[in-house]
């Protein structure tokens, strides 16, 4: 069969540490996606500028390796947050203009302190990522940009499946909501799900 010359591949942008970016890019390419990778944070603005406006169908933001340096716990925690979680906000702001109106944004959790001497609070980290999701949705409204947080324990193939299959994500989201809040009736949790920035665990 002759290939469809007119067919256009969907395009994904994948950012994060090199060891995480490569397997996710390979999984996307196996699904016939065109993939742009950035594993050096300082290169992201230039890459996004070269892509131009409304060029990306999918943005996957993977964790980066963060060194927690400093002479005190406060200093080490500040370095960890500045180099990891807060950098996610900077990166998302740079990427916003490249998103197409019906794009998907997947944030993969997993920025952890490199040393146990830096305190960690997983729920606080996830809460910050949820705030970022809501900010992305606000900045892209009224375009139906889909946003989801994915747990760092997911495999590259699982991350990609969640990223490209909105139906699977929504079904998982509804099931998780019903399990977490069994006391809610159908109308309550349906409304909650429809207004929720998706969280995949």
Model pLDDT, residue 181: 57
> Is the pLDDT at 117 greater than 60, yes or no?
no
pLDDT band, very low/low/confident/very high, at 85 (cuts 50, 70, 90): confident
Work out the mean pLDDT of the chain and round it to a whole number.
Answer: 79
pLDDT band, very low/low/confident/very high, at 6 (cuts 50, 70, 90): very low
Average the pLDDT over 93-109 and give the result: 93
End-to-end CA distance of the chain: 41
> Is the pLDDT at 37 greater than 90, yes or no?
yes
Taking only the tens place, the pLDDT of each residue in 118-162 is 556 677 778 888 889 889 989 998 888 888 888 888 899 999 999
| Cβ-Cβ contacts under 8 Å for 164 (sequence gap 6 or more) | 28, 31, 33, 58, 104
Model pLDDT, residue 145: 87
| Cβ-Cβ contacts under 8 Å for 144 (sequence gap 6 or more) | 101, 102
DSSP string, 136-154: HHHHHTTS--EEEEE-TTS
- Pick the more confident residue, 182 or 138: 138
- Pick the more confident residue, 114 or 48: 48
Element (H, E) at 174: helix 166-180
Average the pLDDT over 155-172 and give the result: 75
CB-based contact 108:63 (threshold 8 Å):
yes
Model pLDDT, residue 177: 53
What is the set of domains in the chain, with CATH numbers?
11-200 (3.40.50.720)
Percent share of the chain, pLDDT over 90? 39
């Amino acid at each position: 069969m002759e290939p469809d010359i007119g067919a256009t591949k969907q395009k994904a942008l994948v950012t994060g540490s090199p060891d995480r970016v490569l397997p996710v890019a390979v999984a996307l390419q196996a699904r016939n996606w065109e993939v742009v990778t950035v594993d050096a944070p300082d290169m992201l603005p230039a890459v996004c500028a070269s892509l131009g406006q409304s060029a990306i169908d999918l943005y996957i933001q993977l964790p980066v390796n963060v060194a927690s340096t400093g002479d005190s716990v406060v200093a080490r925690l500040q370095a960890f947050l500045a180099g990891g979680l807060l950098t996610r906000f900077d990166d998302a702001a740079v990427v916003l203009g490249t998103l197409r109106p019906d794009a998907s944004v997947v944030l993969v959790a997993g920025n952890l302190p490199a040393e146990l001497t830096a305190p960690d609070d997983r729920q606080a980290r996830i809460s910050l990522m949820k705030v970022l999701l809501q900010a992305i949705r606000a900045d892209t409204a009224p375009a139906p940009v889909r946003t989801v947080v994915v747990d760092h324990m997911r495999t590259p193939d699982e991350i990609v499946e969640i990223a490209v299959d909105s139906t699977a994500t929504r079904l998982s989201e509804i099931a998780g909501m019903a399990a977490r809040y069994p006391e809610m009736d159908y109308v309550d949790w349906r409304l909650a799900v429809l207004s929720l920035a998706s969280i995949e665990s």
